Amino acid sequence: MPLMKTSNPALSDKTFRDLPGGGYGSLIDATNRMTLSGTVNKTGILLICALATASWTWHLFLQSSDVADVAPLMLVGMFGGLIFGLVTSFKKEWAPVTAPIYALLEGLMLGGLSAVLESNPRFHGIAIEAVSLTFGTLFVLLLAYRSGLIKVTQKFRLGVIAATGGIFFFYLAQMLLGFFGIRFYSINGSGVIGIGFSLIVVAVAALNLVLDFDFIEQGVQAGAPKYMEWYGAFGIMVTLVWLYIEILRLLSKMRSRN
């Protein structure tokens, strides 16, 4: 069975092609192949790494209540995470090393971002809500996928990919137009349109998790090399980081209405 596409850039349709060590690998020893349980374990390790650095950044903020103390860490996490994310995407066989580093760096960024929002009295407690909603979404969708309640059909897959691509290009256009002073106030504001847009983006980000689950399962069936467990876990982390940020944005808009 050919591997299917996913809108997650870390888990594209070429992810399992031309892999060092045999790719689809009928010649790979069974003990050196990617497994579902192994990928789940690696995902847990990456989550622990991200939570550890996020908690550390958060602790620094609680000690001083000064955003300036965590801003440098947030920038290191942001740009460092981008660099290691790109390295992991292009050098999949390095994932056992680069994926944990990526998770640690993203934890710095997310912890710093959460601290910045938390410093505003209006957004007190928003980080805990966002974390709870993110993990709740992850577990609910995983259960729904494993139980067969959500089936990844070709139409479902193409719809999520198209929606994700549209959001990506909108964000890109918004960033470029921002240099010319053009702002989308209704989309980024706390009005009905802004909240509605964020709800759609959160839903699309969440559905990407379903595609990631399916894609990893396809990789297991294809007999991908063992290190792809780390790469599959990395792909899940990419989606979770996006989902958490979008949930934070949605919650901040909703609170701004009060």
Look-up of token digits 């706390």: 190
Selection from 156, 113, 82, 144 nearest residue 252 by Cα: 113
Domain membership flag for residue 128: yes
What is the rounded end-to-end Cα distance, in angstroms, of the chain? 52
pLDDT at 64 (0 to 100) = 82
Look-up of token digits 């974390």: 131
Q: Which residues pair with 225 in a beta bridge?
A: 33
For residue 52, give both structure tokens.
């550890």
Domain membership flag for residue 224: yes
- Residue 232 to residue 62: CA distance in whole angstroms: 34
Work out the burial of residue 106: count CB atoms within 10 Å of its CB; fewer than 13 is exposed, 13-18 middle, 19 or more buried.
buried
Structurally, how many domains does the chain consist of? 1
Domain membership flag for residue 79: yes
Query: Which tens digit of pLDDT belongs to each residue from 145-177?
Result: 989 899 889 999 999 999 999 999 999 999 898
Helices (H), 147-191: 154-178, 185-188
Domain membership flag for residue 78: yes
Domain membership flag for residue 9: no
Query: Which tens digit of pLDDT belongs to each residue from 212-244?
Result: 999 899 888 888 899 999 999 999 999 999 999
Domain membership flag for residue 21: no
Q: Which residues pair with 95 in a beta bridge?
A: none
* Helical pair 126-146 and 228-256, crossing angle rounded to 10 deg: 130
Task: For residue 88, give Cα distances in angstroms to 95, 148, 202, 235.
Answer: 6, 31, 25, 10
Domain residue limits at 109: 30-256
Residue 61's pLDDT band (boundaries 50, 70, 90)? confident
Domain membership flag for residue 2: no
pLDDT at 196 (0 to 100) = 94
Rounded to two decimals, the pTM is 0.87
Query: Which tens digit of pLDDT belongs to each residue from 89-148?
Result: 999 999 999 999 999 999 999 999 998 888 888 898 899 999 999 999 999 999 999 898
Domain membership flag for residue 10: no
